[in-house]
Structure 1
Amino acid sequence: MERILGPHFINDGCSFTVWAPFAEKIRILLKNSEKPITPEMDKAGYWEVTLKNIEPGTLYKIEVDGESYPDPASRSQPHGVHSWSEVVSEEFSWDDESWIPPKQEQLIIYELHTGTFSTEGNFSGIQKKLDHLKELGINCIEIMPIARFPGNRNWGYDGVYPFAVQESYGGRGQLKELINEAHKKGIAVILDVVYNHMGPEGNYLSLFGPYFTSKYETPWGQAMNFDDEYSDEVCNFFIQNAKMWLGEFHFDGLRLDAVHEIIDSSAIHFLRQLSYSVKELERDTGKKYFLIAESDRNDRRTIDNYSNGGYALEGQWTDDFHHSVHTLLTSEKDGYYSDFGKLWCFNKALKQAFVYDGIYSEHRKRTVGIDPEGLAPEKFVVCVQNHDQVGNRMLGERLSDLVSFEAQKLAAGILLVSPYVPMLFMGEEFAESNPFLYFVSHGDKELIRAVQEGRKREFKYFLKQEGDFPDPQAEETFLRSRLNWNFKEDPFKACIFEYYMYLIKLRKEAAFKELNARNFNIEASEDRKLLNLTTNGPDKKLYVAINFERTPQTIKIPATGNSASWKKIIASAEKKWKGPLSFPDAFKAESHFELPPTSILVYKT
C-alpha cells in the first residue's frame, strides 16, 4: 500500500508520517513547543499523527528511541543537513494548465547543473537563460540532482534528503517558478534523481529503518534495500518521491541515475513498480511523463514493454554512442575507451545504439549487452558530452579543449543527424572552454580527505594528463566550472552557436527523418576512417558522408535512383561555418568530391 511520508497538510491539520518499524518509541519534536507528540504505529511500521495549528515554516525533528534526527522525508532543510526539518506548503499559483510536453521523438535535451549554469547559481539564474535555450531550439532541460546535500556546492549525487530542494539553489519556490516559466516558453523540464544510494554526510536513514541491505555492495557501500526484508516500504519511499516531483512540482520526467546499481532480484523489479506508479499518475493527471534511465548494461529490459518482460521506461542513456564518437575524435584509449576507437563501433552505434549487444568486452573481461532490435530510436538518449564524461576527467576538459574547431562541428553534426534523442551538455552549444570539474562542500574533515584521495584513485586511467589535481573541496574548483556567457564576443564560439542552432532547426523540420527508420547502407573504410551512408527509402533519400581522418578524403557520390542529383542540407566544413570550402548546392550522382578533414556533409534527393 502506498503511503505518503513526511509532513503533509490534510483537511484542517498537518499529518506527520514516519517509517521506523524497529523503533520502540517515536516522538515529534516541535522547535516552538516544549511538548513532544507521540504518533501511533501501524502493522507496517508507520508512525502517524495529525496535528492542528501547524503552520508552514514550523521546524521539527523526529526522536527515535531518545535520539533526535531530521526527518528522512523532510521537504525542507533550511539550516543544513544536520539541523531541523521544516514544514512547507505545497501551494503555488501555477498557470501551465495548457502545457503539453513535446513528443518523445521530438525531444532535444539540454543537461545543466544549477550552481554552475549561471552567474547567480540558482533556479532564477536558469530562468533568466530560458530565452537563450529557446533561441537555440531546446525543448527540454534536464537538471542535475537538487535534493538537499551538505554545504552549498555539489554535483548533487551526495544528496541525503530526496524530498527536499537544495536551499542554495533557491529552494522550492524558485524551482516551481522556473518550471512554470519554462512550460510557458515551450520547454519541458526533467529532474535527475538518485535512487541507487545516499550521500555520506547527513544520511540518517539507517537509524530509522532497514533502508539498506548487506546482501549487496555498490560503489557507495551497502545497497539500497529493494528486495530484502521490509523492502516494500523502501520502494514506497522512492515511488512517493518520484510522484512528488512529477505531481507537486510539475516536472515532465525523471532521469534515473545509474539504475544498474538498483539491485532487485524480486519478481517485480523496482523500476517496473516505479513505471506502474507513474502510469497511474498519468491517468490521474492526464499528463505524459518521461522516465529515462542511466544504465551501463545495454539491457533492453530497461526500456522494453511489459509484455516482453521489460520495465517500460521511456528511454535510457546510451554511453556506447558517446564513447564511439569520442574515441574516434580524440584517439583516447584509456579505461573504458579501450573498447572503442574503431569505425565499426561507430557504425554499430549509429545503426542500433548498442555497440555491445552480447559481444565480449576486453575492458570488462566479459560479455556485455543484448540485441536491441525492434526498439524505437527515441528510446535512446545520446550525447557527445555530458557531466560524467567531462567532469570525471581529472582536469574536467570539455570537447572544445580536446579537439579542433572542425572536429567540434563534426561531433555536433553526428549528434543532431543521428536517429536518437540528442542531449547537449551546458555550454556545448558555444564551445565553452571553462572546465566542468568535480566539486563538493562537505563539513566532515575525514570525509573531505576521503573524497580527495578517492577521486585521485578514480583517475588511475587518466593520470597521464599533466597539471595539478583540482581539489574537489576548494571553492575555486567550483567557480572555475561556471559557464562564461560572453561567448558572442568570440567569433568562433558564436559560429558554433549558430551552427548548433541551424542543425537543431533542420532536425525539427525533419530534414534527417529518413534515418529514423534505421534502414540504410553504410560503406565504411576502417583504415581511412571514412563513412558513407545512404538511406534505402522508396521515395526521398539521404546521403551522409563522415570523415574522421585529419586529412582530406576523396568520396564517390552514390547513385540517386530516380533523381538526377543530391541537394545540400548541411556541410560542417563550409565557409558559412568558418570552414575551408564552399560546397555545391547539388552533387551529380556518381561524381567525385574531396571531403575536408574531420567533417560531415548531408545531402538529400
Structure 2
Amino acid sequence: MQLGAHYLDAGRCEFSVWAPRARQVELKLDSPHERILPMTRQERGYWRIVVDDVLPGACYQFRLDDEKDRPDPASGYQPDSVHGPSQVIDHEAFAWSDRDWKGRPLSEMVIYELHVGTFTQEGTFEAIIPRLEELRDMGITAIELMPVAQFPGTRNWGYDGVFPFAVQNSYGGPEGLKKLVDAAHQADLAVILDVVYNHLGPEGNYLRDFGPYFTDHYRTAWGEAINFDGPHSDEVRRYFLQNALYWFRHFHIDALRLDAVHAINDFSAKPFLQELVEQTEEFSAGNRRECLLIAESDLNDARLIRPEKLGGIGMHAQWSDDFHHALHVLLTEESLGYYADFGHIGDLVKALREGFILSWRYSEFRKRHHGNSSADRPAEQFVVCSQNHDQVGNRMRGERLISLAGFEAAKLAAGAVILSPYIPLLFMGEEYGEDRPFPYFVSFDDDELIEGVRAGRKREFKDFHQEGEPPDPQDPATFDSARIDWASRRKGDKGAMNAFYRELLRLRRDHPVLNRCDNRQLEGWGMEGQRVLWLRRHHEKDEVWMLMNFNRAVAQCPFPARTGSWRKLIDSADRQWRGPGARLPARIEGGQQVELPPHSLALFTKES
C-alpha cells in the first residue's frame, strides 16, 4: 500500500493514510468542487479510498473523527505552508532524460555539500542548474543537498522538516527538484539528499494526530523520539522505509545521507537501519542502478558500516567526525568541547590510516571510553572534510575555517582532505575561500517557539564557554549573511584559492596513486615537536609523499624518503597560489634537508 495520494490515471486517485486510533477518517477534497468522502478502514489502522474526477494539482486534507482537518502525513507537496492542505502530484508526468544513468560508485565520489536557500541569490533548485557545469569541471562528482523536506516558512537549515515526503515549496517543490536531479545526471553528477529519520521539527508536526509515531520511552536532543521499536512500530518503520524508496524511485536520488543515526533509538532484533539497507539493496538490484546510504553518527561504531555477514548493519559509508576534529584542532588550536579529545599529529595520522581515532580510547569530553576500531574498513566507507554545515553552522557565529585559521591554513586543510585516501566533501564556497559565515537560521511563526530556539542556541555553546550573543536565528539578516558570494570566486585571493582547489582535484583524479580510495597502501608519521606530518601513498610502481607543516613557524627536517629522486607536484606556499613563497625545490633527492613554510603542504611523486 502506497501512503499518501497515488495518482492512477484518467482522473482516478488512490488516497491512503495510517490512523489507527481514529474512529472515522474522511477525505476532504477541494477540486473540482469541495467534497467530503468517507474512507474505508483496512488492516492495522490504515484507511483507503479511490476517487474519480481528481486531477494532479487538486488539494486535499484528512478529517479525523469529524473534528480535525489535517494535511497528509505522506504529502508530496504543501503549496501554501506546513499548515495548509496537501496537493496531488503525478510523479509519472515528469519527462526524465537520464535513462542511461546508473549512479556512481563511492570510490569515485567527490562531494559538494550545499544549502539550496543560500547557494544562489534566488534560493531555488533551478537556480543551481547553471552552476553544475562549473562544479563538474572543477572535479566535483556528486552534489549533496541539505534537507529539502517541507519546513515552516522559507528560511531553515532543513532539519526542522515536518513533511518527510513533501519537497520545500519555496525551493521550487517536486518539479524543481526533479529538474535539478535530471540536469545533474546530464552533467555526470550524482545527487545525495540529506534526510532526517531521528526527529521531526516542532512547528506543523501533525503526525501525532494520526498515530503513535513518537514514543516517550526515549528522548532525543530535539524532543520526542520516533517510535522504531515499540507498539505499532511496524507501521512507523514502513512510513520511513517508503520515504527512502520514494526519493530513489520518484526523484532518481543516488544516495541518502542519514542525519544523526545515533539518535535513532531502536533495540529491535532487526534494527530499522538494517531493514533500510536491505530494502535499498533490493531496490537497487531491481532497478539496475546503485543507490547508496551514507550515515552520520557520533558513536564511532564500525558495526554501522560493516557488512551484515560480518555482524554489521551494512551502511555503505559514514561521515568521519574524528578526521575533521583532528585536522581542525591542529589548525586552530581550539580545545574546548569535543575538541578536547584531539590535538596531536598522531591523531591525524591514525585517522588517515584507520578512519576512527577514538576506538575505545578515553574521551576527556565524554569522561569515558568511546568507539571501536574501524581499521578493517576500506577507505571508500569514510567521508572526510575540513568544513561542513554542522562544523561551521554549529559555532556561535558560524565562522568558516578560513576566518579562524587564515588563508595558508585553509589551503593546508584542503590538501589534507582532497589528497587523503577517503571520500572528500567540500562545503559550498570553501573552494574559493568564502569567508561569509553560515549561522543557524529559522523562520517560525510561533513566538514562544522562537524564544525557545534563541534560548536553546545560547545553551548549546555552554561546553565551548563562548561569550556574547549568537546571531538571532529568526532575523532575516542572519539568513542573508549566509548567502555565498559566488561572483567573488575569480578575484584576488579567492581566485587563487579556487585555482588551488582545482589543481588538487585534478591531481586526485589523474594520479594513479591519488585516484584510489586506499588506506592499505599508506604509511604516515608524525613529528609532534615540529608539528609535521609525513604521508606516503603508493600503488604498484607509483609512489607519492605528502609533507604537511601544521606549525606557525618554519619547520626543518630531512625529506622523508631516504633514496630516489622526487618531483614536486604542488606546493601550497608557491606564489602561484598567493603563498609566502616556496622553500622546497622542484626536484629533490631522498634524505635531503628541507624547510617547510608555516601552515604549508607539498606533494612529491617518485621520478621514474
Specify if TM > 0.5. yes
Alpha-carbon spacing, 1:535–1:89, altered in 2? closer, same or farther (3 Å): closer
Give 1:34 deviation, angstroms: 4.4
- 2:5 match: 7
Give 1:31 deviation, angstroms: 2.1
Alignment partner of 1:501 is 2:502: yes
Q: Alpha-carbon deviations, 1:24-65, whole Å to 9, x = none?
A: 111111124444111111221110111111111111111111
Give 1:541 deviation, angstroms: 2.3
- 1:16 match: 15
Give 1:523 deviation, angstroms: 2.7
Do the aligned residues in 1 keep the contact of 2:155 with 2:443 (CA within 8 Å)?
Answer: yes
3-state SS, counterpart of residue 219 of structure 2: strand
- 1:73 match: 74
1:422 to 421, 424, 428: 424
1:160 to 141, 162, 177: 162
Alpha-carbon spacing, 1:86–1:535, altered in 2? closer, same or farther (3 Å): closer
Give 1:514 deviation, angstroms: 7.0
3-state SS, counterpart of residue 128 of structure 1: helix
- 2:265 match: 263
Do the aligned residues in 2 keep the contact of 1:394 with 1:463 (CA within 8 Å)?
Answer: no
- 1:176 match: 178
Paired residues in the alignment total 600
1:377 to 376, 379, 387: 379
Residue 507 of structure 1 aligns with an amino acid whose one-letter code is: R
Alignment partner of 1:486 is 2:484: no
- 1:335 match: 337
Q: Alpha-carbon deviations, 1:335-363, whole Å to 9, x = none?
A: 11111112121111111110011111110
TM-score normalised by structure 1 residue count: 0.97
Alpha-carbon spacing, 1:590–1:281, altered in 2? closer, same or farther (3 Å): same
Give 1:132 deviation, angstroms: 2.2
Do the aligned residues in 1 keep the contact of 2:105 with 2:290 (CA within 8 Å)?
Answer: no
Alignment partner of 1:279 is 2:281: yes
2:351 to 302, 326, 349: 349
- 1:292 match: 294
* C-alpha separation in 1, matches of 2:537 and 2:123: 45
* C-alpha separation in 2, matches of 1:524 and 1:456: 38
3-state SS, counterpart of residue 43 of structure 2: coil
Residue 128 of structure 1 aligns with an amino acid whose one-letter code is: P
- 1:212 match: 214
Give 1:465 deviation, angstroms: 5.0
- 1:30 match: 29
3-state SS, counterpart of residue 434 of structure 2: coil
Q: Alpha-carbon deviations, 1:77-109, whole Å to 9, x = none?
A: 111111111111112000111123332111000
Q: Indicate the percent of aligned positions where both proteins have the same amino acid.
A: 46
3-state SS, counterpart of residue 396 of structure 2: coil
Alpha-carbon spacing, 1:160–1:394, altered in 2? closer, same or farther (3 Å): same
Do the aligned residues in 2 keep the contact of 1:395 with 1:470 (CA within 8 Å)?
Answer: yes
Do the aligned residues in 1 keep the contact of 2:352 with 2:519 (CA within 8 Å)?
Answer: no
Do the aligned residues in 2 keep the contact of 1:546 with 1:600 (CA within 8 Å)?
Answer: yes
1:223 to 219, 225, 233: 225
2:412 to 402, 410, 413: 410
- 2:39 match: 39
Do the aligned residues in 2 keep the contact of 1:560 with 1:566 (CA within 8 Å)?
Answer: no
Do the aligned residues in 2 keep the contact of 1:515 with 1:535 (CA within 8 Å)?
Answer: no
Gaps of 5+ in 1: none
* C-alpha separation in 1, matches of 2:351 and 2:269: 32
3-state SS, counterpart of residue 594 of structure 1: strand
Give 1:538 deviation, angstroms: 5.7
* C-alpha separation in 1, matches of 2:558 and 2:343: 25
* C-alpha separation in 1, matches of 2:454 and 2:412: 36
Do the aligned residues in 1 keep the contact of 2:60 with 2:86 (CA within 8 Å)?
Answer: yes
Alpha-carbon spacing, 1:514–1:524, altered in 2? closer, same or farther (3 Å): farther
Alpha-carbon spacing, 1:34–1:171, altered in 2? closer, same or farther (3 Å): closer
Give 1:375 deviation, angstroms: 0.8
Q: Alpha-carbon deviations, 1:416-471, whole Å to 9, x = none?
A: 111100000000001101110100000111101100111111122345355x4310
1:394 to 368, 393, 396: 396
Q: Alpha-carbon deviations, 1:460-501, whole Å to 9, x = none?
A: 2345355x4310000000001000122245311100000001
Residue 188 of structure 1 aligns with an amino acid whose one-letter code is: A
Which one is further off, 23-32 or 445-454? 23-32
Give 1:75 deviation, angstroms: 0.8
Do the aligned residues in 2 keep the contact of 1:299 with 1:369 (CA within 8 Å)?
Answer: yes
TM-score normalised by structure 2 residue count: 0.96
Do the aligned residues in 2 keep the contact of 1:394 with 1:462 (CA within 8 Å)?
Answer: no
* C-alpha separation in 1, matches of 2:389 and 2:517: 27
- 1:594 match: 595
* C-alpha separation in 2, matches of 1:250 and 1:330: 40
Give 1:544 deviation, angstroms: 1.6
3-state SS, counterpart of residue 527 of structure 1: coil
* C-alpha separation in 1, matches of 2:435 and 2:573: 21
- 1:432 match: 434
Give 1:376 deviation, angstroms: 0.7
1:197 to 192, 196, 199: 199
* C-alpha separation in 2, matches of 1:30 and 1:535: 63
Q: Alpha-carbon deviations, 1:533-587, whole Å to 9, x = none?
A: 33465633221211100111112113455xx301212211122212233442221
Do the aligned residues in 2 keep the contact of 1:393 with 1:462 (CA within 8 Å)?
Answer: no
* C-alpha separation in 2, matches of 1:317 and 1:187: 20
Do the aligned residues in 1 keep the contact of 2:15 with 2:49 (CA within 8 Å)?
Answer: yes
* C-alpha separation in 1, matches of 2:269 and 2:327: 37
Give 1:288 deviation, angstroms: 0.4
Alpha-carbon spacing, 1:373–1:523, altered in 2? closer, same or farther (3 Å): closer
Do the aligned residues in 1 keep the contact of 2:111 with 2:141 (CA within 8 Å)?
Answer: yes
Alpha-carbon spacing, 1:471–1:517, altered in 2? closer, same or farther (3 Å): closer
1:325 to 324, 327, 330: 327
Q: Alpha-carbon deviations, 1:306-361, whole Å to 9, x = none?
A: 10121211110010000000001001111111111121211111111100111111
- 2:54 match: 54
